[in-house]
A and B are shown apart, each in its own frame.
Chain A
Amino acid sequence: MIKKAQSYMLTLLIVSLSLNLQAQNSVRFEKYKTNAEVQKSLNDLQQNSPNRTTLHKIAESPGGEPVYVLEIGKDLKNVPAIFVAANFEGKTPISTEGALYMARMLLDSVSYTRKVKWFILALPNPDAASGFFSGIKWERSVNSAAVNDDKDDQLNEDGPDDLNKDGLITLMRVEDPEGTYLISGKDPRIMVKADPGKGERGKYKLYPEGLDNDGDGEINEDGIGGINLGINFPHLFKTNAQETGLWPGEAPEVYGTMKFIFGHPEIAMIFTLGTSDFCIAPPRGGRKGGVNMESLRVPARYATIIGADPEKTYTMSQVVEMFKTNMPARGGREINSETVAGFLGLGANVNPLEDDLKFYKDFSDKYKSFLKTKGVTTERMSADPDKDGSFELWAYYQVGVPSFSMNLFTPPIISDQKPGEAASKEAGIKPGESDDREKSILAFIDKKLNGTGFVEWQPFNHPTLGKVEIGGIAPFVTSTPPPAQIDSLCRIQLPWLLTLSKKLPDLQLMKEVITDLGAGVYRLEIYVENKGVLPYPTAMGSKNKQPAPAVVVLEGENLEILEGYQRSPLGDIGGNQVKKITWTIKTDKKTLKAHIDSPLFDATVKQIKIGG
């Protein structure tokens, strides 16, 4: 009977295993998935590993589509988690595919999921993502929130129109005495800005393909939607700008994402698949602003209260001390660097901190070698710079964890151009060099896409502009490779993110040293090591105090702590670094216990033997 049951169980196991594989394989990467297909893939992945996965609905888009996070490793506790998000801007379907591909790789793997939990947000912006699949293709990045872009008396009344009926929204060029564009001498398909300094005078005006549907003199100024989720996050949020939303997190998809992430303090790293690429180059520096905490001035208003000289500069800790000494307690609120930063009106950090740039640079070098080992030798056009209000910047600055973004596809730089002519190796193509950039794109279209992807300029009789020509680079050409490449692009590049997952900080109680001082009094030293490459937290995380503190907790019967505390916060601990905590204790017992209290590190209780 027992044997029978066993074999029955075994059969069941085999059946379920094979089912599992089958279903995992049922998520295929041969074409771009519609919203419904993405949802189905997520459901399939979840249902095939019900013991390991959960689907969390974190929001509903204004267009009525659900937004899901797939949790892989729901059975894991006291492990760090990695949040993988893709395609906030909705116009890079390859990144949504990449997120699903990651999920499939992770579900097939043991090595990357044994001690790390993963959260996958593959399709945060379903409203915008539908733009790729609509009858008329256009690069939509806004959700379906009711936003009256031109603040007139109608909503969404003047979006793009497919005038030439080719199913694509491209450009219109029209001869106009006030025009600022010329046809490029390098390639007649390219329009370039005339340079009056070189004696050039513009001849054409450029418009997006469409009509002035509402007769206000503007073309396509109020299409469907909405808020661009890729610029609706709080870090460097732009108020009163196009498509950013009224306030950060106004979009329910963004609000839901932030709420989910702050609801999971175990999240220790964030990956973003989209338009920027922090694997290649760190978050942008060189922004104006930011504060040097070592050189602060105290405004006169406070200087008199705390006895500071408004002409002199002080360090943050000096100013905190002066406030503590000279200002009475404030209703239970402690005077600390946060409150003082508030008094002094210090702003937010806007440039990545030096200490963090070290690991960004190190990993960037390693990533380039990694790509070489994968046989990737072709140079490609550089990824977009990070955008103010983007998810990946918010992850670094406000969540305070290592944030790595990856752009899975930009057009290759075709070899008959010398690198540097079309694009410099590191910096890529600078904005403004639009004809060079377009020339590269056209070379890619000609050589790799057999010319599809460029709509030849064709005359069209426009109702308000008169004789125009419609043409230009088709939407999605530069961001979305042919579906046949999805699988290989993901297979080659995404494993780097798996590699990065092995760099997570990993705090462990390493060893302890006990010195018997006599009469039941001991000195106890516990060494905690970070076995990971990454620090905990990052310098930015240390500054914004968001990452959950790791605390060494000492417990024992009849334990009296003469020096030190039962709960000792570890503070910052660098990658591969060791930190020592010292106590003087008194006990008549032979053992005591210690563990690390943290939502993301190993909390195994260690028995410590004292004396004989």
Chain B
Amino acid sequence: MRKLFTILAISLIAFTVVAENKGKVEIPLRFDRYYTYEEVVEALKLLNTSYPQLTKLDLVGKSEEGREIYALTINNPKTGEALSKPGVYVDGNIHGNEIQAGEVCLYFANMLLTKYGENDKITKVVDKNVYYIIPVVNVDGRAHFFLDAQTSSSDRSFRVPRDDDRDGLVDEDGPDDLDGDGNICMMRIKDPLGDYKTDPEDDRLMIPVKPGEKGEWTILGQEGIDNDKDGKLNEDGEGYFDANRNWGSDWQPAYVQNGAGNFPLSGFGVKAIATYIHQRPNIIVNFAFHNSGGMWLRAPSHKDDKVDTRDVAVYDLIGKNALKITPGYVYQPSYDLYDTFGDTDSHMFNLEGSYTFVGELFMRSQETYRENVSKPLPPAAETESSSARRGGNPDETRELVKFNDYLGLNELYKSWKSYKHPTYGEIEIGGWMKMSSRLPHPFMLPELVHRNAMVVLYAAEQTPEISLEIFEVKEIGKNLHQVRVRLKNEKGLPSMSYKAISSKLYTQDILKISGAKVIASGKITDLRNNKISYQEHKPEVIYTAVPSFGYAEYQFLVEGKGEIAVNYSSRKAGSLTKTFKF
């Protein structure tokens, strides 16, 4: 009896631990927590098995460490084959530490599936498009972010070793979790000649000393030791290989673009996903989620790349609405931040012809401890830096620490504790922890994932809806008819980007008449004045594209009798056929 009780007690404890620390993965998925890599896979498998009619789970490829990269396809086969519909592609977490990007993808999938058939808006967008969702691109990075001690900014890299310090050894001197708390924090040492002193308003913080003032602290950098004894600390950590600089469009080598990798698509996951996307030419809009800073970024990503103003107008339609869905974000071309080469968005926009947004999730300005939050503090200027956490603005830093105290359950900031360092002797370790700075505290996650997923949903609503109308059939001679056709787009995304047209990326939309001989055909350039621009060659095939909220009109001169079919087919906007009889 007593034994049984013990077993019960142990299993109860075990259950409690699991329930508290992880939470069971079940449908509908919860979003007040973060999923480990394994749990993301479990969640995807569960979504797939729970919605077998609407979903398909594909193994896209394997990472450098052998982890599996999955894509969930959501498509209603009753409304058509996947490749016959506009494709909406969403991925995230290409940088290993940017984990909430994965949750946005999972949330989006979860929302489409759990609300399908219950909510008209969702049902409609699920029925019209196909969705390709890869929540975690950098699967190794996500796994290691949970498993290893990290800063909030570390572990971006793919697991591609690189000899950063050029000493013949790779990745041999990264930061070390000296105090074993699962975080890479900062080290400081008492130093009367130091540049910092204790903040009189909060003794956990430091502020820079003014000229003439006595110093108190020198910041030694990230937690670590000189593992390779070369006199430098933490100078050759994981990678560095930035998968978001390894794509094919305008790829530049690492001496030009840091993190580029040795050659385009050399990262296993990048190659696998590039192939996956290339095999799905119907993809018309892409989202790639990152953290942080609160931004919607669009092409171009460097100053020498130009985007046609008509494409900018399409981007603006979604980007400017996104600003209202995610208040506080900015929307701008990616190069406004800084020039990048070989990033995902350029590859998708320049080479695959898909409108692509990068969503930089989360703003620290939302971590408020203040009566009136209607005026948020300005967001940090540099997203990739961690300047905010070291008090670029002391007031902001003080508020962030209070946020940790009163809202963050002390899970974000670590008070300084002394430590005996092998090189520096008596030092202190403390500061912002792994789950801080770039990640919303789990209590804020539900709103973040919903708002950002709603931007994807808005873009999904704007995929082209083309109608084909034969608006005039007139006999103009013996057996000769003038047939006029109008292609109209009810939505904001054109059937083909202007970039794709101008760089001749792929075959334009095709308008064809079958069942009779086409004598001549051409675009109606001015319907009222009856102006037609006839094609010189191949009148039976017209190459076209249907603009955003616009139309295109064509005229065919057709010789023949009986039933005639007009067929429109587009790589990204589906296909249509209308028949009529003379």
A334 touching B350 by the CB < 8 A rule?
no
Number of interface residues of B (CB under 8 A): 70
* Minimum Cβ distance to chain A for residue B57 (Å): 27
Contact mask for chain B residues 515-549; partner A; CB cutoff 8 A; 1 contact, 0 none: 00000000000000000000011100101000000
Give chain A nearest CB distance to B387 CB in angstroms: 5
**Of B167, B256, B382, the contact of A549 (CB 8 Å cutoff):** B167
Nearest-CB distance from B343 to chain A (Å)? 12
Residues of B within 8 A of A551 (CB): 167-168
CB distance A331 to B536 under 8 Å? no
Query: Is B252 an interface residue when CB atoms closer than 8 A count as contact?
Result: yes
Interface assignment of A328: CB less than 8 Å from any CB of chain B:
yes
Name, among B153, B164, B248, B382, the residue most crowded by chain A CB atoms within 10 Å (CB to CB): B248
Does chain B have a CB within 8 A of A341? Answer: yes
Contact indicator B506/A151 (Cβ below 8 Å): yes
Is B344 at the interface (CB under 8 A from chain A)? no
Mark the stretch among B14-22, B44-52, B118-126, B260-268 that contacts chain A.
B260-268
What chain A residues lie within 8 Å of B238 (beta carbons)?
Answer: 332
B residues 137-156 touching A (CB-CB < 8 Å): 151-154, 156
Q: Mark out the residues of chain B between 30 and 59 whose CB falls within 8 Å of any chain A CB in the assembled complex.
A: none
| Chain A residues within 8 Å of B174, by CB | 332
- A339 and B169 CA atoms in complex are apart in Å by 20
Whether A332 lies near B237 (C-beta < 8 A) is: yes
Cα distance A549–B166 in the bound complex, in angstroms: 6
Contact with A along B181-204 (1 / 0, CB 8 A): 000100000000000000000000
Query: Does any Cβ of A come within 8 Å of B415's Cβ?
Result: no
* Bound complex: CA A215 to CA B168 (Å): 60
Given known A-B contacts A153-B541, A262-B263, A332 and B222 have beta carbons under 8 A apart: yes
Give the interface segment out of B63-71, B105-113, B228-236, B443-451: B228-236
Q: Is A262 in contact with B262, judged by CB distance below 8 angstroms?
A: yes
Over the window 323-360 of chain B, the binary record of Cβ atoms lying under 8 Å from chain A Cβ atoms (1 yes, 0 no) is 00000000000000011100000010011000000000
Does A608 belong to the interface (CB within 8 Å)? no
**Bound form: Cα–Cα A73–B255 in Å:** 32
Flag if A248 contacts B263 (CB, 8 Å).
yes
Residues of B with C-beta under 8 A to A305 = 382
Q: Quick check: is A585 within 8 A (CB to CB) of the other chain?
A: no
Residue B386 at the chain A interface, CB threshold 8 Å: yes
Give complex CA distance A332, B234 in Å: 7
In the complex, the answer to whether A216 meets B537 with C-beta atoms within 8 Å is yes
Return chain A residues, CB-CB under 8 Å to B351.
246-247
Q: Which residues of chain A have C-beta atoms less than 8 A from B504's C-beta? A: 151, 240
Chain A residues with Cβ below 8 Å from B543 are 152
- Closest chain-A Cβ to B354's Cβ sits at a distance in Å of 13
> A555 CB to closest chain B CB, in angstroms?
12
- Interface: B218 (CB within 8 A): no
The B interface, classified by DSSP as helix, strand, loop or mixed, is loop
Contacts of B505 in A (CB 8 A): 151, 240
**How near does chain A come to B176, taking the closest CB pair, in angstroms?**
12
Contact B538 A214 (CB under 8 A): yes
Interface of chain A, helix or strand or loop or mixed?
loop
- Per-position contact with B for A334-365: 1 when CB-CB < 8 Å, else 0? 10011101110111100000000000000000
A582 to B96, alpha carbons, bound, how many Å?
Answer: 41
Q: Is B231 touching A217 in the complex (CB atoms < 8 A)? A: no
Q: Is A303 an interface residue (CB 8 A)?
A: no
Over the window 362-400 of chain B, the binary record of Cβ atoms lying under 8 Å from chain A Cβ atoms (1 yes, 0 no) is 000000000000000000001011110010000000000
B249 at the interface (CB under 8 A from A): yes
Cα of A333 to Cα of B351 in the assembled complex, Å: 30
Name which of A250, A332, A598 has the most chain B CB atoms within 10 A of its CB. A332
Contacting pair B508 A549 (CB below 8 A): no
Contact of B251 among A240, A248, A565 (CB under 8 A): A248
A151-B506, A151-B507, A398-B253 given; A331·B262 CB < 8 A: no
- With A398-B253, A567-B169, A567-B228 given, is the CB distance from A248 to B264 under 8 Å? yes
User: Given the complex of chains A and B, what is the CA–CA distance between A214 and B165 in angstroms?
Assistant: 58
List the A side residues contacting B156 at CB < 8 Å. Answer: 331
* In the complex, per-residue mask of A259-279: 1 if CB is within 8 Å of any chain B CB, else 0: 100100000000000000000
Interface string of A198-212 (1 = CB under 8 A from B): 000000000000000
Going nearest first, the 9 A-B pairs with the smallest beta carbon separation are A247-B248, A331-B153, A551-B168, A345-B339, A217-B537, A258-B263, A262-B262, A240-B503, A544-B255
- Chosen A-B contacts, 10 in total, with CB atoms closer than 8 Å, are A234-B263, A247-B248, A248-B263, A331-B97, A334-B165, A341-B255, A342-B258, A345-B338, A545-B255, A565-B230
